[in-house]
Amino acid sequence: MSAPTLDRPTDEAALQQRFDATIAADRRIEPRDWMPDGYRKTLVRQIAQHAHSEIIGMQPEGDWLLAAPSLRRKAILLAKVQDEAGHGMYLYSAAETLGADRADLTDKLIEQKQKYSSIFNYPTLTYADVGVIGWLVDGAAICNQVPLCRSSYGPYARAMIRICKEESFHQRQGYELLMTMMGGTEEQRAMVQDAVDRWWWPSLMMFGPPDDDSPNSAQSMAWGIKRHSNDELRQRYVDMSVPQAQFLGVTLPDPDLHWDEETGHWRFGPIDWAEFKQVVSGNGPANAERIRRRRAARDDNAWVTEAATAYARKHAGAVTEGAA
Ligand code: FAQ
Protein backbone atom coordinates (compact mmCIF):
# COMPACT_ATOMS: atom_id res chain seq x y z
CA MET A 1 0.00 0.00 0.00
CA SER A 2 1.40 3.41 -0.92
CA ALA A 3 1.92 5.98 1.83
CA PRO A 4 -0.56 8.90 1.83
CA THR A 5 0.86 11.91 0.03
CA LEU A 6 -0.37 15.46 -0.30
CA ASP A 7 -1.72 14.59 -3.74
CA ARG A 8 -3.72 11.62 -2.53
CA PRO A 9 -4.87 12.42 0.97
CA THR A 10 -6.59 9.56 2.73
CA ASP A 11 -7.65 10.89 6.11
CA GLU A 12 -10.69 13.07 6.68
CA ALA A 13 -8.78 16.10 7.96
CA ALA A 14 -6.58 16.19 4.87
CA LEU A 15 -9.62 15.76 2.63
CA GLN A 16 -11.38 18.61 4.40
CA GLN A 17 -8.25 20.72 4.00
CA ARG A 18 -8.13 20.05 0.29
CA PHE A 19 -11.84 20.86 -0.06
CA ASP A 20 -11.38 24.13 1.85
CA ALA A 21 -8.38 25.05 -0.31
CA THR A 22 -10.39 24.41 -3.49
CA ILE A 23 -13.20 26.66 -2.24
CA ALA A 24 -10.75 29.34 -1.06
CA ALA A 25 -9.03 29.35 -4.47
CA ASP A 26 -12.44 29.67 -6.15
CA ARG A 27 -11.96 26.45 -8.10
CA ARG A 28 -14.78 23.95 -8.75
CA ILE A 29 -15.69 20.86 -6.74
CA GLU A 30 -16.40 17.95 -9.09
CA PRO A 31 -18.57 14.85 -8.49
CA ARG A 32 -15.68 12.50 -7.66
CA ASP A 33 -14.05 14.93 -5.24
CA TRP A 34 -14.49 14.42 -1.54
CA MET A 35 -16.95 16.89 -0.03
CA PRO A 36 -18.43 17.39 3.46
CA ASP A 37 -21.85 15.80 3.99
CA GLY A 38 -23.41 19.20 4.69
CA TYR A 39 -22.16 20.56 1.36
CA ARG A 40 -23.62 17.58 -0.51
CA LYS A 41 -26.96 17.82 1.34
CA THR A 42 -27.23 21.57 0.75
CA LEU A 43 -26.57 21.14 -2.94
CA VAL A 44 -29.09 18.32 -3.31
CA ARG A 45 -31.66 20.44 -1.47
CA GLN A 46 -31.10 23.55 -3.57
CA ILE A 47 -30.67 21.79 -6.92
CA ALA A 48 -33.73 19.57 -6.34
CA GLN A 49 -35.85 22.60 -5.37
CA HIS A 50 -34.58 24.38 -8.42
CA ALA A 51 -35.36 21.40 -10.71
CA HIS A 52 -38.84 21.04 -9.18
CA SER A 53 -39.44 24.76 -9.79
CA GLU A 54 -38.63 24.40 -13.47
CA ILE A 55 -40.97 21.41 -13.84
CA ILE A 56 -43.85 22.85 -11.81
CA GLY A 57 -43.13 26.18 -13.52
CA MET A 58 -44.31 24.70 -16.81
CA GLN A 59 -47.89 24.65 -15.54
CA PRO A 60 -48.91 28.32 -15.23
CA GLU A 61 -47.85 29.19 -18.78
CA GLY A 62 -48.74 25.73 -20.10
CA ASP A 63 -52.34 26.59 -19.26
CA TRP A 64 -52.27 29.11 -22.15
CA LEU A 65 -50.83 26.87 -24.85
CA LEU A 66 -54.22 26.02 -26.35
CA ALA A 67 -55.48 29.59 -26.04
CA ALA A 68 -52.48 31.48 -27.45
CA PRO A 69 -53.88 34.20 -29.75
CA SER A 70 -51.84 33.33 -32.88
CA LEU A 71 -49.69 30.58 -34.34
CA ARG A 72 -46.59 32.72 -33.72
CA ARG A 73 -47.46 33.22 -30.05
CA LYS A 74 -48.22 29.52 -29.68
CA ALA A 75 -44.88 28.51 -31.22
CA ILE A 76 -42.96 30.89 -28.92
CA LEU A 77 -44.83 29.73 -25.82
CA LEU A 78 -44.43 26.06 -26.72
CA ALA A 79 -40.67 26.52 -27.15
CA LYS A 80 -40.43 28.31 -23.81
CA VAL A 81 -42.40 25.71 -21.87
CA GLN A 82 -40.30 22.94 -23.44
CA ASP A 83 -37.14 24.80 -22.42
CA GLU A 84 -38.32 24.73 -18.80
CA ALA A 85 -38.67 20.94 -19.03
CA GLY A 86 -35.09 20.82 -20.34
CA HIS A 87 -33.88 22.96 -17.43
CA GLY A 88 -35.52 20.56 -15.01
CA MET A 89 -33.72 17.66 -16.70
CA TYR A 90 -30.26 19.30 -16.57
CA LEU A 91 -30.83 20.06 -12.91
CA TYR A 92 -32.04 16.56 -11.97
CA SER A 93 -28.92 15.26 -13.77
CA ALA A 94 -26.75 17.60 -11.69
CA ALA A 95 -28.46 16.27 -8.53
CA GLU A 96 -27.76 12.70 -9.70
CA THR A 97 -24.03 13.45 -9.80
CA LEU A 98 -24.34 13.96 -6.03
CA GLY A 99 -25.91 10.52 -5.57
CA ALA A 100 -29.57 11.60 -5.57
CA ASP A 101 -32.13 9.42 -7.32
CA ARG A 102 -34.41 11.23 -9.78
CA ALA A 103 -37.53 9.17 -9.07
CA ASP A 104 -37.00 9.65 -5.35
CA LEU A 105 -36.75 13.44 -5.84
CA THR A 106 -40.01 13.44 -7.81
CA ASP A 107 -41.69 11.46 -5.02
CA LYS A 108 -40.41 13.95 -2.44
CA LEU A 109 -41.86 16.83 -4.48
CA ILE A 110 -45.25 15.13 -4.74
CA GLU A 111 -45.26 14.22 -1.05
CA GLN A 112 -44.35 17.87 -0.37
CA LYS A 113 -41.16 16.89 1.46
CA GLN A 114 -39.19 19.16 -0.87
CA LYS A 115 -40.10 22.67 -1.92
CA TYR A 116 -40.40 24.47 -5.24
CA SER A 117 -40.52 28.20 -5.93
CA SER A 118 -43.43 30.06 -4.32
CA ILE A 119 -44.03 31.99 -7.55
CA PHE A 120 -45.60 29.05 -9.35
CA ASN A 121 -48.48 28.86 -6.89
CA TYR A 122 -50.27 31.83 -8.44
CA PRO A 123 -52.76 31.37 -11.30
CA THR A 124 -52.41 32.81 -14.82
CA LEU A 125 -55.73 34.61 -15.30
CA THR A 126 -55.19 36.33 -18.67
CA TYR A 127 -52.80 36.11 -21.60
CA ALA A 128 -50.96 39.17 -20.27
CA ASP A 129 -49.78 36.90 -17.44
CA VAL A 130 -47.69 34.99 -19.98
CA GLY A 131 -45.86 38.20 -20.88
CA VAL A 132 -45.48 39.26 -17.27
CA ILE A 133 -44.09 35.85 -16.27
CA GLY A 134 -41.51 36.18 -19.05
CA TRP A 135 -40.58 39.70 -18.05
CA LEU A 136 -40.75 39.55 -14.25
CA VAL A 137 -40.45 35.87 -13.29
CA ASP A 138 -37.78 34.96 -15.84
CA GLY A 139 -36.16 38.34 -15.09
CA ALA A 140 -35.95 37.42 -11.39
CA ALA A 141 -34.73 33.92 -12.30
CA ILE A 142 -31.89 35.41 -14.39
CA CYS A 143 -30.92 37.84 -11.66
CA ASN A 144 -30.74 34.99 -9.16
CA GLN A 145 -29.14 32.46 -11.50
CA VAL A 146 -26.39 34.37 -13.33
CA PRO A 147 -24.24 34.33 -10.16
CA LEU A 148 -24.95 30.58 -9.86
CA CYS A 149 -22.94 30.09 -13.09
CA ARG A 150 -19.99 30.66 -10.74
CA SER A 151 -21.30 28.29 -8.08
CA SER A 152 -18.58 26.14 -6.52
CA TYR A 153 -20.09 22.83 -7.67
CA GLY A 154 -19.02 22.19 -11.27
CA PRO A 155 -22.07 20.36 -12.70
CA TYR A 156 -24.49 22.90 -11.20
CA ALA A 157 -22.47 25.88 -12.44
CA ARG A 158 -22.21 24.43 -15.95
CA ALA A 159 -25.95 23.63 -16.11
CA MET A 160 -26.67 27.21 -15.09
CA ILE A 161 -24.72 28.66 -18.03
CA ARG A 162 -27.01 27.08 -20.58
CA ILE A 163 -30.12 27.70 -18.50
CA CYS A 164 -29.31 31.41 -18.19
CA LYS A 165 -28.87 31.77 -21.95
CA GLU A 166 -32.32 30.30 -22.47
CA GLU A 167 -33.85 32.36 -19.67
CA SER A 168 -32.64 35.51 -21.44
CA PHE A 169 -34.66 34.55 -24.49
CA HIS A 170 -37.62 33.88 -22.20
CA GLN A 171 -37.38 37.29 -20.66
CA ARG A 172 -37.18 39.02 -24.02
CA GLN A 173 -40.15 37.19 -25.47
CA GLY A 174 -42.20 38.24 -22.42
CA TYR A 175 -41.16 41.85 -22.68
CA GLU A 176 -41.81 41.87 -26.44
CA LEU A 177 -45.30 40.46 -25.87
CA LEU A 178 -46.00 43.18 -23.30
CA MET A 179 -44.66 45.94 -25.58
CA THR A 180 -47.03 44.70 -28.27
CA MET A 181 -49.99 44.69 -25.88
CA MET A 182 -49.11 48.15 -24.56
CA GLY A 183 -49.22 49.42 -28.13
CA GLY A 184 -52.70 47.89 -28.55
CA THR A 185 -56.12 48.82 -27.14
CA GLU A 186 -57.03 50.36 -23.78
CA GLU A 187 -58.33 46.96 -22.73
CA GLN A 188 -55.01 45.28 -23.56
CA ARG A 189 -53.07 47.92 -21.62
CA ALA A 190 -55.37 47.36 -18.65
CA MET A 191 -54.74 43.61 -18.85
CA VAL A 192 -50.98 44.21 -18.68
CA GLN A 193 -51.31 46.56 -15.70
CA ASP A 194 -53.56 44.08 -13.90
CA ALA A 195 -51.02 41.28 -14.46
CA VAL A 196 -48.16 43.48 -13.21
CA ASP A 197 -50.23 44.32 -10.10
CA ARG A 198 -50.66 40.61 -9.33
CA TRP A 199 -47.12 39.37 -10.12
CA TRP A 200 -44.84 42.16 -8.84
CA TRP A 201 -44.82 41.30 -5.14
CA PRO A 202 -44.66 37.50 -5.62
CA SER A 203 -41.67 38.05 -7.95
CA LEU A 204 -39.83 39.87 -5.13
CA MET A 205 -40.52 36.87 -2.88
CA MET A 206 -38.73 34.56 -5.32
CA PHE A 207 -35.40 35.70 -3.86
CA GLY A 208 -36.27 34.06 -0.54
CA PRO A 209 -36.69 35.39 3.00
CA PRO A 210 -34.80 38.50 4.16
CA ASP A 211 -31.14 37.91 5.03
CA ASP A 212 -31.76 38.01 8.78
CA ASP A 213 -34.36 35.24 8.39
CA SER A 214 -32.49 33.05 5.87
CA PRO A 215 -31.10 30.03 7.72
CA ASN A 216 -29.09 28.65 4.79
CA SER A 217 -27.49 31.76 3.30
CA ALA A 218 -24.39 32.19 5.48
CA GLN A 219 -23.16 28.62 5.04
CA SER A 220 -24.12 28.46 1.36
CA MET A 221 -22.17 31.66 0.71
CA ALA A 222 -19.16 30.43 2.69
CA TRP A 223 -19.18 27.31 0.48
CA GLY A 224 -19.50 29.40 -2.68
CA ILE A 225 -22.80 27.72 -3.60
CA LYS A 226 -24.58 31.07 -3.41
CA ARG A 227 -22.57 34.15 -4.35
CA HIS A 228 -24.89 36.89 -3.09
CA SER A 229 -27.43 37.18 -0.32
CA ASN A 230 -31.20 37.09 -0.94
CA ASP A 231 -31.60 40.82 -0.17
CA GLU A 232 -28.67 41.83 -2.39
CA LEU A 233 -30.17 40.04 -5.38
CA ARG A 234 -33.68 41.35 -4.64
CA GLN A 235 -32.34 44.92 -4.65
CA ARG A 236 -30.45 44.29 -7.91
CA TYR A 237 -33.70 43.01 -9.44
CA VAL A 238 -35.73 46.05 -8.34
CA ASP A 239 -33.05 48.40 -9.72
CA MET A 240 -33.15 46.53 -13.02
CA SER A 241 -36.96 46.31 -13.27
CA VAL A 242 -38.03 49.88 -12.45
CA PRO A 243 -36.59 51.45 -15.65
CA GLN A 244 -38.05 48.57 -17.66
CA ALA A 245 -41.49 49.25 -16.13
CA GLN A 246 -41.13 52.95 -16.95
CA PHE A 247 -40.22 52.20 -20.56
CA LEU A 248 -43.14 49.80 -20.84
CA GLY A 249 -45.53 52.38 -19.39
CA VAL A 250 -46.81 50.39 -16.41
CA THR A 251 -46.94 51.34 -12.73
CA LEU A 252 -45.37 49.02 -10.17
CA PRO A 253 -47.89 48.51 -7.34
CA ASP A 254 -45.78 49.98 -4.57
CA PRO A 255 -46.59 53.45 -3.20
CA ASP A 256 -43.29 53.47 -1.28
CA LEU A 257 -41.11 52.90 -4.34
CA HIS A 258 -38.68 55.81 -4.71
CA TRP A 259 -35.21 56.62 -6.00
CA ASP A 260 -32.65 57.02 -3.24
CA GLU A 261 -30.06 59.49 -4.52
CA GLU A 262 -27.63 58.76 -1.71
CA THR A 263 -27.33 55.02 -2.29
CA GLY A 264 -28.19 54.96 -5.99
CA HIS A 265 -30.95 52.38 -5.48
CA TRP A 266 -34.71 52.16 -5.91
CA ARG A 267 -36.12 51.70 -2.42
CA PHE A 268 -39.26 49.58 -2.09
CA GLY A 269 -42.00 49.06 0.50
CA PRO A 270 -42.43 46.16 2.94
CA ILE A 271 -42.93 42.66 1.53
CA ASP A 272 -45.81 40.61 2.93
CA TRP A 273 -43.77 37.77 4.44
CA ALA A 274 -46.90 36.26 5.99
CA GLU A 275 -48.20 35.64 2.47
CA PHE A 276 -44.83 34.11 1.48
CA LYS A 277 -44.97 31.72 4.45
CA GLN A 278 -48.52 30.71 3.62
CA VAL A 279 -47.60 29.95 0.00
CA VAL A 280 -44.40 28.07 0.87
CA SER A 281 -46.23 25.97 3.44
CA GLY A 282 -48.67 24.74 0.80
CA ASN A 283 -51.54 27.19 1.19
CA GLY A 284 -51.11 29.45 -1.83
CA PRO A 285 -53.84 29.91 -4.44
CA ALA A 286 -52.67 27.06 -6.71
CA ASN A 287 -50.47 24.72 -4.57
CA ALA A 288 -52.99 21.88 -4.45
CA GLU A 289 -53.61 22.01 -8.20
CA ARG A 290 -49.89 22.10 -9.05
CA ILE A 291 -49.17 19.00 -6.97
CA ARG A 292 -52.32 17.18 -8.13
CA ARG A 293 -51.23 17.58 -11.76
CA ARG A 294 -47.63 16.55 -11.07
CA ARG A 295 -48.87 13.45 -9.28
CA ALA A 296 -51.18 12.61 -12.19
CA ALA A 297 -48.30 13.08 -14.66
CA ARG A 298 -46.16 10.63 -12.67
CA ASP A 299 -48.91 8.04 -12.17
CA ASP A 300 -50.57 8.20 -15.59
CA ASN A 301 -47.24 8.00 -17.41
CA ALA A 302 -45.62 5.32 -15.25
CA TRP A 303 -46.06 2.85 -18.11
CA VAL A 304 -43.76 4.97 -20.33
CA THR A 305 -41.02 4.89 -17.70
CA GLU A 306 -41.49 1.14 -17.23
CA ALA A 307 -41.36 0.49 -20.99
CA ALA A 308 -38.29 2.70 -21.45
CA THR A 309 -36.54 1.04 -18.50
CA ALA A 310 -37.34 -2.46 -19.85
CA TYR A 311 -36.09 -1.47 -23.31
CA ALA A 312 -32.88 0.00 -21.89
CA ARG A 313 -32.29 -3.16 -19.83
CA LYS A 314 -32.89 -5.40 -22.84
CA HIS A 315 -30.64 -3.25 -25.01
CA ALA A 316 -27.88 -3.26 -22.37
CA GLY A 317 -28.21 -7.09 -22.21
CA ALA A 318 -27.86 -7.36 -25.99
CA VAL A 319 -24.77 -5.15 -25.94
CA THR A 320 -23.20 -7.26 -23.17
CA GLU A 321 -23.95 -10.50 -25.07
CA GLY A 322 -22.51 -8.98 -28.25
CA ALA A 323 -19.35 -8.03 -26.39
CA ALA A 324 -19.02 -11.60 -25.02
N1 FAQ B 1 -40.09 29.64 -2.74
O2 FAQ B 1 -32.37 29.97 3.82
P3 FAQ B 1 -33.08 30.35 2.59
C4 FAQ B 1 -37.48 29.81 -12.47
C5 FAQ B 1 -37.11 28.27 1.15
S6 FAQ B 1 -36.63 28.84 -11.37
C7 FAQ B 1 -40.12 28.51 -2.01
O8 FAQ B 1 -32.88 31.73 2.10
P9 FAQ B 1 -31.66 29.26 0.31
C10 FAQ B 1 -37.39 29.46 -13.92
C11 FAQ B 1 -35.71 27.68 1.06
O12 FAQ B 1 -35.66 26.66 0.10
C13 FAQ B 1 -37.06 29.51 -9.78
N14 FAQ B 1 -39.23 28.27 -1.02
O15 FAQ B 1 -32.78 29.27 1.43
C16 FAQ B 1 -38.72 29.58 -14.56
C17 FAQ B 1 -35.50 27.21 2.45
O18 FAQ B 1 -36.23 26.02 2.67
P19 FAQ B 1 -35.59 24.66 3.26
C20 FAQ B 1 -36.36 28.76 -8.73
C21 FAQ B 1 -38.29 29.20 -0.79
O22 FAQ B 1 -31.76 27.97 -0.39
C23 FAQ B 1 -39.22 30.81 -14.93
C24 FAQ B 1 -36.20 28.29 3.27
O25 FAQ B 1 -37.14 28.90 2.41
N26 FAQ B 1 -35.00 29.21 -8.64
O27 FAQ B 1 -38.10 30.70 -12.03
C28 FAQ B 1 -38.20 30.37 -1.53
O29 FAQ B 1 -30.34 29.63 0.87
C30 FAQ B 1 -40.47 30.91 -15.54
C31 FAQ B 1 -35.23 29.30 3.83
O32 FAQ B 1 -34.66 30.11 2.79
C33 FAQ B 1 -34.12 28.57 -7.86
O34 FAQ B 1 -34.42 27.59 -7.23
C35 FAQ B 1 -39.15 30.58 -2.55
N36 FAQ B 1 -39.16 31.68 -3.30
O37 FAQ B 1 -32.08 30.44 -0.68
C38 FAQ B 1 -39.47 28.44 -14.81
C39 FAQ B 1 -32.71 29.15 -7.86
N40 FAQ B 1 -37.17 31.10 -1.08
O41 FAQ B 1 -35.00 23.93 2.13
C42 FAQ B 1 -40.74 28.54 -15.42
C43 FAQ B 1 -31.76 28.40 -7.00
C44 FAQ B 1 -36.64 30.40 -0.05
O45 FAQ B 1 -34.54 25.08 4.26
C46 FAQ B 1 -41.21 29.79 -15.78
N47 FAQ B 1 -32.05 28.55 -5.59
N48 FAQ B 1 -37.33 29.27 0.11
O49 FAQ B 1 -36.75 23.93 3.86
C50 FAQ B 1 -31.59 29.58 -4.83
O51 FAQ B 1 -30.91 30.48 -5.31
C52 FAQ B 1 -31.92 29.55 -3.36
O53 FAQ B 1 -32.31 28.24 -3.03
C54 FAQ B 1 -33.01 30.56 -2.93
C55 FAQ B 1 -33.28 30.36 -1.43
C56 FAQ B 1 -32.50 31.98 -3.11
C57 FAQ B 1 -34.30 30.35 -3.69
pLDDT digits (tens, 9 = 90+) for 71-80: 999 999 999 9
- pLDDT of residue 105 exceeding 90, the answer is yes
Closest residue to atom 50 of ligand 1, CA basis: 46
| Mean pLDDT of the 261-287 span | 97
Q: How far is CA 151 from the centre of its chain?
A: 14
100-122 core/surface letters (b: 16 or more CB in 10 A; e: else): beeeebbebbbeeebbbbbbbbb
Residues in contact with 77: Cβ distance below 8 Å, sequence separation at least 6, in sequence order = 61, 64, 65, 68, 130
- pLDDT of residue 1 exceeding 80, the answer is no
pLDDT at 9: 56
Q: How far is the CA of 118 from the centre of ligand 1 (A)?
A: 8
- pLDDT of residue 133 exceeding 90, the answer is yes
| Mean pLDDT of the 252-256 span | 98
Q: Please tell me the distance from the alpha carbon of residue 250 to that of residue 175, in angstroms, as a whole number.
A: 12
Of 3-7, 176-180, 201-205, 248-252, the least confident: 3-7
Would you place residue 317 in the very low, low, confident or very high pLDDT band (cuts 50, 70, 90)? confident
pLDDT at 323: 64
- Residue ranges of domains in the chain: 19-317
Q: Whole-model pTM?
A: 0.94
- pLDDT of residue 124 exceeding 80, the answer is yes
- pLDDT of residue 205 exceeding 60, the answer is yes
pLDDT at 2: 43
Residues in contact with 237: Cβ distance below 8 Å, sequence separation at least 6, in sequence order = 139, 140, 143, 144, 203, 204, 207
User: Rounded to the nearest 5°, which phi and psi values hold at 153?
Assistant: -95, 115
Closest residue to atom 4 of ligand 1, CA basis: 141
Would you place residue 3 in the very low, low, confident or very high pLDDT band (cuts 50, 70, 90)? very low
pLDDT at 120: 98
- pLDDT of residue 5 exceeding 90, the answer is no
| Helices assigned H by DSSP within 206-272 | 217-222, 230-248
Task: Specify whether the CB–CB gap between 56 and 120 falls below 8 A.
Answer: yes
Q: Please tell me the distance from the alpha carbon of residue 170 to that of residue 192, in angstroms, as a whole number.
A: 17
Q: How far is the CA of 52 from the centre of ligand 1 (A)?
A: 10
Say which CATH architecture domain 19-317 belongs to.
Answer: Up-down Bundle (1.20)
What share of the chain in percent tops pLDDT 90?
Answer: 93
CB atoms within 10 A of CB 20: 12
Q: Is 248 buried (19+), middle (13-18) or exposed (0-12) by CB count in 10 A?
A: buried
Task: Specify whether the CB–CB gap between 118 and 56 falls below 8 A.
Answer: no
Closest residue to atom 15 of ligand 1, CA basis: 216
